[in-house]
Amino acid sequence: MPFATVQICHWLFDKLVLPIPFSRRTRPQLRPGLALQHLLSLRDRWPYSSPSFGASRDVRIHGAISLCHDYASAFAPSQTPPTTAAPTAAAPPRWRLPPTGSVKINVDGAFLPTARLGAIGVLARDSSSAVLGGFAWHIAVIGPTSSVEASALFAGLEFAIANGWASALIEYDAAVLFNKLHRPTPDLSLLGDLLAPSRHLIAASCGRLHVGFAPRSANFAAHTLASWASQHNDVISFTSVCPELISRIVLDDLSSSF
């Protein structure tokens, strides 16, 4: 605090005949601030008739407040605003292992609008992430593009039944189809008709077949198979030997599944 300000503080207390509210141990640089704090805490108890106030009472009070501001700005510790770390984007969901004794079948569809051709990709893995089989092939698209996704779902259900797996979870990333498939009321739309065969297979499985939704990041292997089939005039079919096309994705899925 500037020396002149300190002198003014002591002058105020001398004029008001107030006890100094600190002991000998109080550091000198803190005394003016403590004195001013004490001055403000007692201001409402000072009589208006005091000869030391008179008509200038309010002027002196405002002067004391200004001195407090000077003291705060001179001796307040420099505070750097806390730096908040930039929020990190949440990692996208990844493929997860199915329950022990169950098989997870990821399916996806791709559409080639110029040729009105679709392609589906199917990949089955067990609870240890071992590849059990899959395929990628073309289909003719007659209805809307969503019919490709519906065909991929039906192909995954048929694949589970053909292999006789006791428990299978079919996952795909078509949210609209997933919602329509689990709609409790009858669906009379065209897409509802396309899902009717899949509903029939699920109902006839007596609880062995289940359908779940997986975002694209957790369904990337099946998506890669479908995309490849839509761009190549070829067919992939495999059993336990994972094709090189998706081998890296399968390894990545395994590392993120624990």
CB atoms within 10 A of CB 137: 17
Q: DSSP string covering 2-71, please? A: -HHHHHHHHHHHHHHT------TTS-GGGHHHHHHHHHHHTGGGS-TT-TTTGGGHHHHHHHHHHHHHHH
Owning domain of residue 12 = 3-75
Residue 121's DSSP bridge partners are: 108, 136
- Per-residue pLDDT for 44 more than 70? no
Least confident range from 26-30, 89-93, 157-161, 173-177: namely 26-30
pTM: 0.65
Alpha carbon distance 15, 20 (integer Å) = 12
SS3 content of the chain, % helix, strand, coil (to 5): 45, 15, 40
Residue 88 lies in a domain: no
Gap between the Cα atoms of 207 and 209, Å rounded: 6
Tell me: do 148 and 219 sit in the same domain.
yes
Question: What would the mean pLDDT of 145-158 be, rounded to a whole number?
Answer: 93
Evaluate if residue 71 carries a pLDDT over 80: no
Structural domain contains residue 83: no
% the chain with pLDDT above 90: 46
Structure tokens at 72: 């705060």
- Reduced 3-state DSSP string for 97-151: CCCCCCEEEEEEEEEECCCCEEEEEEEEECCCCCEEEEEEEEEECCCCCHHHHHH
| Pair (141, 190) in one structural domain | yes
Residue 35, in any domain of the structure? yes
Do 213 and 109 share a structural domain?
yes
Indicate if 243 and 118 belong to the same structural domain.
Answer: yes
Verify that 122 and 167 share a domain, yes or no. Answer: yes
Tell me the three state secondary structure of residue 237.
Answer: strand
Q: Which stretch, 24-28, 49-53, 68-72, 105-109, has highest mean pLDDT?
A: 105-109
Quote the pLDDT of residue 174.
Answer: 92
pLDDT over threshold 60, residue 7: no
Give the CATH number, domain containing residue 141: 3.30.420.10
Q: Write out the two tokens for 207.
A: 């609880």
Distance, in Å, from the CA atom of 193 to the CA atom of 199, rounded to the nearest integer, reads 10
